[in-house]
Amino acid sequence: MQDQDIVTTSINTIRTLSMDAVQAARSGHPGAAMAMAPVMYCLWNQCLRFDPENPTWPGRDRFVLSIGHASMLLYATLHLCGVRAIGDDGTTSGALAVSLDDIKQFRQLDSKCPGHPEYRLTSGVEMTTGPLGQGAATSVGMAIAGRWMSHTFNRPGFEMFNYNVYALCGDGDMMEGVSSEAASFAGHLRLPNLCWIYDSNRITIEGGTDLAFSEDVTKRFIAYGWQVIHVADANDIKAITGALQSFQHRSSRPTLIIVNSHIAYGAPNKQDTSAAHGEPLGEEEVRLTKRFYGWPEDAKFLVPDGVYKCFREGIGARGRALREQWTLKLDAYQIKYSVQAQQLRLMQEGQLPEGWDRSIPQFPADGKGLASREASGQVLNAIARHLPWLIGGAADLAPSTKTRLTFEGAGEFTAGETGRNLRFGVREHAMGAILNGLAISKMRAYGASFLIFSDYLRPSLRLSAIMNLPTIYIFTHDSIGVGEDGPTHQPIEQLASLRSIPGLITLRPADANEVIEAWRVIIRLQQTPAVLVLTRQNLPTLDRSRYAQASGLRQGGYVLADAPNGQPDILLLATGSEVALCIDAYEQLAKEGIHARVVSMPSLELFEAQVQTYRDAVLPPSVTARVAVERATTFGWDRYVGRRGHVIGMKTFGASAPEKLLAKRFGFTTEKVIEAAKAQIRIREHRVG
């Protein structure tokens, strides 16, 4: 049992480091960090199964700071715990993940202590947080992964995975809809390894929470199926420890620990508590608060004697012992359960098992063809048979998105089962965050919905890209081809919106064989999220003995059909369902002696990643007559057709009618493509003349 004086001193060190860093930066939020310091101390130094010397040890507990604005709370703790940095090669270095100098550079350029925690930048940070609700929701995915890994890898005498996931939340998290969706889902699954700690300080940027938030959170979470524990005072170490132990030892469902706190606790002279949340305290208030703590008033970034030792003897000693026991167990596990050990190693390293693609079907040429969602469903199942940690589902749309795993042994993930089909319900927002939690946990996770509903997932999509996670998003019903459902279900601006996210790859394949190649690209990704955009309607399966091989998809754009002499008069560019339209136009133009080139461009991001010589070979700068065709907004296509080129696209939100009538109304016909191509050639000839 540690001496109470050093416990108090350690807690106050977290507080004062947070105050000093925020004050030095003249930017940030010290209040929550100061109030939650006792909770952070109890969790990390007394409970968390975490080895500071190896912060990526697979058997560790996970901690997510969902209230990312309280980032100094985490940085101060990582520093005092002595968490070591992880190098680019994945190995632990001798350097601290967060040094005292890093804390002094809080919120400054290139600091390891940015304004909100950033995954991969600072070791010990389990995910990027900031947008409220995202951390809490993502922690549900981490807990699902933990339960799946326990079921998959644990054997008698070999408990390789039994970790808990903790998320520290605030009033803002409780208000955001994404956390409500995720909490509902976690309660439905009865995840016993998930604990949210709710800092109920009753304050937000605008003032008291009673301005906008008056619900009974306890009753809400009980209704979700959670265990709810109350701690009346954030400074009551005994009560906090007891609540954490209650979760660890008696939980059979998710746990919410509600901790009542006061922003800038210990600063009795602070009248405007909202300012303590939204801005630095000010030099005078810092001195007064330090006086209240019995701290040297003018000392800055002080770590008193005994504090480092306190953490070394707490989390340091406990974490090292637990990790060493786990490592010894792994050595024996590799001998007795070599198949499972090999799968575990590959999963942790982001590698693929041998033969992962051996069951992928081939699709023969077929004028009628099949919908790209149908082809994708077949390919997904073929891959999942040989990639055991590929897991996912849809937001209540699996029959429509064709994303259910149907092979023997796939199973369901429910409160009582631990299979690989997740039924997210109508919860797109939470689904995206949960997928990120699975991906952070080294699983290959996919989620599906209609393309129009990608808007609901955008915050999670963006975080996938920021965190360099290989999360897989499958969106079907990709255009006005949805037909009678009308403008509310017809995606127009969504493709352009997705393409605007840095670090995200969007793929819209033209036929079944491009679907195969798209999946080959996606599965090989290790640090890049991908969106697969698919049709509801059938697409002709192109004759690849006549046209170029679908493997050209790997370059993002490729010459699908060319002029006989390789010198085209006109370039026809398209993605997805519109490629077949361009092929029809190509064939008819050829009969009239007009030499066209059809370029399939399933991924603009992959195309832009190619060297300039390749891009110029596909889209020769000398050929200025160009037509692009896509059943979406024309935004962005001017990059490829130029100022004088033509884009056949959408300028409205569509209409409710059968698909064929919509295609005619909005100009997506062979005749319109031919007409536009001839007009482009006339413009070119006029300029030359």
Supply the CATH number for residue 661's domain: 3.40.50.920
pLDDT above 70 covers a percentage of the chain that reads 97
Give the tens place of pLDDT for each residue, 119-165.
999 999 999 999 999 999 999 999 999 999 999 999 999 999 999 99
- Kindly tell me the sign of the dihedral angle through the C-alpha atoms of 393, 399, 405, 411: positive
Q: Give the Cα separation of 232 and 658 in Å (integer).
A: 60
Does residue 326 have a pLDDT over 80?
A: yes
CA angle 49, 52, 54 (to 5 degrees): 95
Give the tens place of pLDDT for each residue, 584-643.
999 999 999 999 999 999 999 999 999 999 999 999 999 999 999 999 999 999 999 998
Q: Give the pLDDT score at 2.
A: 61
Cβ contacts of 184 within 8 Å, gap of 6 or more: 224, 425, 427, 430
Confidence category of residue 265, pLDDT binned at 50, 70, 90 = very low
Residue 219, judged by CB atoms within 10 A of its CB (0-12, 13-18, 19+), counts as exposed
- Domains in the chain, number: 3
DSSP labels, 374-433? HHHHHHHHHHHTT-TTEEEEESS-HHHHT----STT--EESSS-B-SEEE--S-HHHHHH
Q: Give the pLDDT score at 248.
A: 93
Rg (C-alpha) for the chain, rounded Å, is 28
Residue 283 placed within a domain: yes
Give Dmax (Cα) for the chain: 92
Q: Which of 571, 582, 586 is nearest to 641 (CA)?
A: 571
Q: Running DSSP on this structure, what letter comes out for residue 149?
A: H
Confidence category of residue 263, pLDDT binned at 50, 70, 90 = low
Q: What is the rounded end-to-end Cα distance, in angstroms, of the chain?
A: 92
Strands 570-574 and 538-541: unpaired
Q: Do residue 68 and residue 184 come from a single domain?
A: yes
Q: Do residue 108 and residue 240 come from a single domain?
A: yes
Q: Cα dist. 569→616, 657, 672 in Å?
A: 15, 36, 17
Q: Do residue 528 and residue 570 come from a single domain?
A: no
Give the tens place of pLDDT for each residue, 354-400.
999 999 999 999 999 999 999 999 999 999 999 999 999 999 999 99
Q: Which of 322, 48, 97 is nearest to 197 (CA)?
A: 48
Q: In what order do the strands lie in the sheet with 596-600?
A: 558-561, 596-600, 570-574, 626-633, 646-650
Residue 267 placed within a domain: yes
Q: Do residue 75 and residue 97 come from a single domain?
A: yes
| Amino acid at the residue 460 | S
Residue 585 placed within a domain: yes
Are the beta carbons of 447 and 352 closer than 8 angstroms? no
**How many helices and strands, by DSSP H and E, does the chain display?**
27, 23
Supply the CATH number for residue 306's domain: 3.40.50.970
Domain encompassing residue 440 = 366-540
Q: Do residue 533 and residue 584 come from a single domain?
A: no
> For helices 454-466 and 428-440, what crossing angle results, to 10°?
20
Confidence category of residue 4, pLDDT binned at 50, 70, 90 = confident
Average pLDDT, the chain: 94
Are the beta carbons of 73 and 120 closer than 8 angstroms? no
Q: Give the Cα separation of 177 and 132 in Å (integer).
A: 10
Q: Running DSSP on this structure, what letter comes out for residue 445?
A: E
Residue 171 placed within a domain: yes
How many CA atoms are closer than 13 Å to the CA of 495, on its beta-carbon side? Answer: 31
The residue among 274, 294, 324 that closes a domain is: 324
What phi and psi, each to the nearest 5 degrees, are found at residue 211? -65, -30
Confidence category of residue 262, pLDDT binned at 50, 70, 90 = confident
Give the tens place of pLDDT for each residue, 508-560.
999 999 999 999 999 999 999 999 999 999 999 999 999 999 999 999 999 99
Give the tens place of pLDDT for each residue, 332-349.
999 999 999 999 999 999
Are the beta carbons of 120 and 468 closer than 8 angstroms? yes
Q: How would you label 371-403 residue by residue, b for 16+ Cβ within 10 Å and e otherwise?
A: bbbbbbbbbbbbbbbbbbbbbbbbbbbbeebbb
Are the beta carbons of 173 and 129 closer than 8 angstroms? no
Are the beta carbons of 348 and 518 closer than 8 angstroms? no
Cβ contacts of 241 within 8 Å, gap of 6 or more: 42, 46, 47
Give the tens place of pLDDT for each residue, 662-675.
999 999 999 999 99
- Kindly tell me the sign of the dihedral angle through the C-alpha atoms of 123, 126, 131, 132: negative
Does residue 49 have a pLDDT over 70?
A: yes
Residue 243 placed within a domain: yes
Helix (H, G, I), strand (E, B) or coil at 241: helix
The residue among 540, 567, 593 that closes a domain is: 540
Does residue 269 have a pLDDT over 70?
A: no
Q: Do residue 39 and residue 147 come from a single domain?
A: yes
Q: What is the pTM of this model?
A: 0.95
pLDDT above 90 covers a percentage of the chain that reads 91
Residue 341 placed within a domain: no
Q: Do residue 489 and residue 584 come from a single domain?
A: no
Give the tens place of pLDDT for each residue, 440-474.
999 999 999 999 999 999 999 999 999 999 999 99
Q: Do residue 279 and residue 377 come from a single domain?
A: no
Q: Do residue 510 and residue 568 come from a single domain?
A: no
Q: Give the pLDDT score at 688.
A: 58
Confidence category of residue 204, pLDDT binned at 50, 70, 90 = confident
Helix (H, G, I), strand (E, B) or coil at 434: helix
Q: Give the pLDDT score at 87.
A: 86
Residue 155, judged by CB atoms within 10 A of its CB (0-12, 13-18, 19+), counts as exposed
Q: What are the start-end ranges of the H helices in 30-85?
A: 31-35, 37-41, 71-81
How is the chain split among helix, strand and coil, in percent rounded to 5? 45, 15, 40
Helix (H, G, I), strand (E, B) or coil at 547: coil
Q: How would you label 465-500 residue by residue, b for 16+ Cβ within 10 Å and e otherwise?
A: bbbbbbbbbbbbbbbbbbbeeeeebbbbebbbbbbe
Residue 352 placed within a domain: no
Helix (H, G, I), strand (E, B) or coil at 533: strand
Q: Do residue 306 and residue 412 come from a single domain?
A: no
The residue among 507, 540, 573 that closes a domain is: 540
Residue 351 placed within a domain: no
Q: Which of 237, 306, 313, 314 is nearest to 10 (CA)?
A: 306
* Token code pair at residue 235: 């400074």
Q: Do residue 188 and residue 96 come from a single domain?
A: yes
Q: Do residue 597 and residue 472 come from a single domain?
A: no
* Token code pair at residue 264: 């800038």
Strands 165-170 and 194-200: parallel
Q: Which positions are annotated as active-site residues?
A: 428
Other CB atoms within a 10 A radius of the CB of residue 123 amount to 22
* Token code pair at residue 428: 């797109």
| Amino acid at the residue 185 | F
How many CA atoms are closer than 13 Å to the CA of 175, on its beta-carbon side? Answer: 17
Confidence category of residue 487, pLDDT binned at 50, 70, 90 = very high
Run of H or E residues at 17: helix 4-25
Helix (H, G, I), strand (E, B) or coil at 649: strand
Other CB atoms within a 10 A radius of the CB of residue 196 amount to 29
* Token code pair at residue 688: 């030359």
